[in-house]
Structure 1
Amino acid sequence: MTTSSELLDLSPVMPVVVLDDAEAAPDVARALLAGGIGTIELTLRTPTALEAIERVAAQVPDIVVGAGTVTTPQQANEAVDAGAAFLVTPGTTDSLLDAVTATGLPFLPGAATVSEAMRLAERGLDTLKFFPAEASGGAAALKAFAGPLPHLKFCPTGGISVANAPDYLALATVGCVGGSWLTPKDAVAARDFGTIEALAKESSALAG
C-alpha cells in the first residue's frame, strides 16, 4: 500500500476532480494517466462521486484513486467500500481523524494554520494537506511554516493554478500540489479527453 508520504511523490500535481457523471470517470483517469499523472482525487461533492471511485478503481488500476472532501466518519467508510486507495480531508476534527485513521488507508488531513499542523504532528502525522492554500497565505505562508515545522510535508490545495504551482513546488516542504485545472468542467462535459491529457502532460512536467 502507498504511504501518505509516497502519495506526494506520485505526481507533482494531484488532480482534484469533481464529477457529475460517474461514467466519465474511467476515461478522465485514463487521460490523466496518459499525460503522466499517477493519481486522482475524486471529491465527494456530488451524488455520483462514490460510483466514480468504484469505476476508476475497477477499470483503471494503474492510477491511484482517492476520495477527497471527506468531512464525516461515514464518508470515510463509504470511500473505503468504494475502493478508494487514500483519503483527503479539507480540515480535521477529532472524530474525523479517528475515523480516517481507523480505515488503515493513507490520508492527507487538512490544516490551514501552524497550530492545526502542530496538533496533527502531535498525533504522529507528518504529511498534511494545506487548505485553502491561496486564501491562507499561499506559498509565502508555507515557507514560514517551514521555520518551526521543517519536518512536515504538505500538499497545498485551493486556488492553485499552473501559473503559481511552481512557487509551491519550489518549497522543500511541498511534495505536490492539488489542482482542479487539469479537468475543466467543460472538457469533461464534452468528453474532450485530449485536452485533459494535454493539461496533464503540462502539469506532470512541473517540478520544484
Structure 2
Amino acid sequence: MTGNTLASVLAGARLMPVLTVPSAASAGPLADALAAGGARCAEVTFRTPDAEQALKAMAAHGGLAVGAGTVLTPEQAERAVAAGARFVVSPGFDEDVVAKCRELAVPVVPGVASATELMRALRAGLDTVKLFPAEPLGGLPMLRALAAPFPQARFVPTGGIDASRLPAYLAHPAVLAVGGSWMATAVHLERGEYGEIRRLTAEAVHGSAP
C-alpha cells in the first residue's frame, strides 16, 4: 500500500475506543474525556446521522488519531477522509473500499471472520485486519487459530470485548490493538457521563500498557 500504515498512525497505542456518537455536540467533550484518560486514538463509526460531523470535530481536537469505522462504501471512505479520518475500518472485506483507501493513501482495516477472508485481504496486499465480531466468533481461541497459519497478519480484534478480556487479547503477539466500546457507550454519551468515560478509559489504557 503506502508507507502510511495503521501501526504508524497508532504510534504504539494498543487501545482503540470504538465510538457511536449520537450527536456532534458531544464530540468535543468526548474527545477531551478520552484524551484525559490517556487514549491516543479512536474510531468513530458511521452509524449515526451526525457521524461525519462528529469525526470532523474529534479529528480537529489534535490529541487523538481519529479514524472512521463501519465504512461500507467507497463514497463513505471518501467522505470520512475529507472529514479528517486518518484510517478507515470496515466490518468486512470489500475490494472497492480497499481500492478507494489506497487511492486516498490512508490505512484501511477490513473485517474478517474466516481464513478465506483473511487470505483475500493478504492477497490484496493488506497485513492488518479487524477480527470481527471477535467474541461471537470464538474469541481468543479463534484468533489463535487464524494467526497460526498466517504469521504475517496483524489483528485488531473488535466485538464483544470488555475490560476483563482486554489483557488476554493484548498478550497475543499477533494483536496490534484491541477495539472496544465499553469505555464510552451510548448510555454514557446520552447522559453526558464524561467523567465516567475518562475513568474507564484510564483504566483500559493502564491495562493495555506493556
Determine the structure 1 residue equivalent to 2:126.
Answer: 125
| Matching residue of 2:86 | 85
Q: Does 1:171 align with 2:172?
A: yes
Amino acid at match of 1:51: Q
Greater mean deviation of Cα atoms: 114-123 or 183-192: 183-192
Aligned partner of 1:57 in structure 2 is 59
Give the Cα separation in 2 of the matches to 1:10 and 1:50: 26
What is the CA–CA distance in structure 2 between the aligned matches of 1:195 and 1:63, rounded to whole Å? 19
Contact 1:111 1:131 in 2 (8 A): yes
d(CA) in 1 for partners of 2:17, 2:36 = 13
How has the CA–CA distance of structure 1 residues 64 and 8 changed in structure 2, closer, same or farther, with 3 Å as cutoff? closer
Cα separation, 1, equivalents of 2:139 and 2:122: 21
Gaps of 5+ in 1: none
| Displacement after TM superposition at 1:190 (Å) | 2.0
Root-mean-square deviation (CA), in Å? 1.5
1:176-198 Cα shifts (integer Å, max 9, x gaps): 11001010222212222110000
Q: Which amino acid aligns with 1:139?
A: L
- Provide, for residues 12-64 of structure 1, a one-character-per-residue CA deviation record: whole Å limited to 9, x for no partner: 32000001111111211111111111001000000000000111122x11211
CA distance in 2, matches of 1:130, 1:183: 21
**Contact in 2 for aligned 1:12/1:203 (Cα 8 Å):** no
Q: What CA distance in whole angstroms lies between the structure 2 residues aligned with 1:6 and 1:142?
A: 23
What code does the residue aligned with 2:162 have? S
AA paired with 2:132?
A: F
CA–CA distance in structure 1, aligned partners of residues 95 and 185 of structure 2: 34
2:102 corresponds to: 101
8 Å contact 2:10–2:65 — kept in the other structure?
no
> Which of 6, 14, 17 does residue 16 from structure 2 map onto?
14
- The residue that corresponds to 2:76 in the other structure is 75
Q: Is the 8 A contact 2:98 2:108 kept in 1?
A: no
The one-letter amino acid of 1:194's match is: G
Partner residue, 2:192: 191
Paired residues, what number?
207
Which stretches in structure 2 are left out of the alignment for 5+ residues?
Answer: none
Distance 2:138 2:103 in 1: 32
> Matched residues in 1 for 2:140 and 2:11: separation?
19
Cα pair 1:8 1:175 within 8 Å, conserved = no
Contact 2:20–2:185 under 8 Å retained in 1: no
Structure 2 counterpart SS, 1:156: coil
Deviates most, 153-162 or 101-110: 101-110
Q: TM-score, normalised by structure 1?
A: 0.94
Identity %: 41
Distance in 2 (alpha carbons) for counterparts of 1:107 and 1:26 = 25
Deviations 1:80-124 (A, max 9, x none): 111111110110122222122222111211111111111111111
TM-score by length of 2: 0.93
Distance of 2:97 and 2:83 partners within structure 1: 18
